Amino acid sequence: MYDEHYTRLNQYRSLWILVFFDLPTETRKERKIASNFRKRLLDDGFSMFQFSIYMRFCASRENAEVHSKRIKNSLPEHGKIGVMQITDKQFGMMELFYGKKPVETEKPSQQLELF
């Protein structure tokens, strides 16, 4: 009973951060800036969901805020970038398809938080 209750509450406490971006890539310099932005997301533990959408699981709101601040500190000068936080419960309700075949949503890996 306790484990089920904790898991249910945890689905509302843990978050997913989604980063959506459309960066200019017409010049060599713009491509390098866009590539560096994607690299910083990967270095910070994000994974590619689609080409210009990256996501990261965060065990707590405080942890999500740390990663959101890192994104805001590394924003390129040009382009459009959106950062959205959704609960694990909301993420789990997403329907994913490859063509017409349904696909399971990604389960968060076990992460160790050190304070």
Q: What is the DSSP letter of 61?
A: H
Check whether 22 is labelled as a binding-site residue.
yes
Q: What's the residue count for the chain?
A: 115
Task: For residue 11, give both structure tokens.
Answer: 């689905």
Q: Tell which residue, 13, 5, 20, has the closest CA to residue 90.
A: 13
Q: Tell which residue, 114, 115, 107, has the closest CA to residue 14.
A: 107
Binding residues: 22
Binding residues for Mg(2+): 22
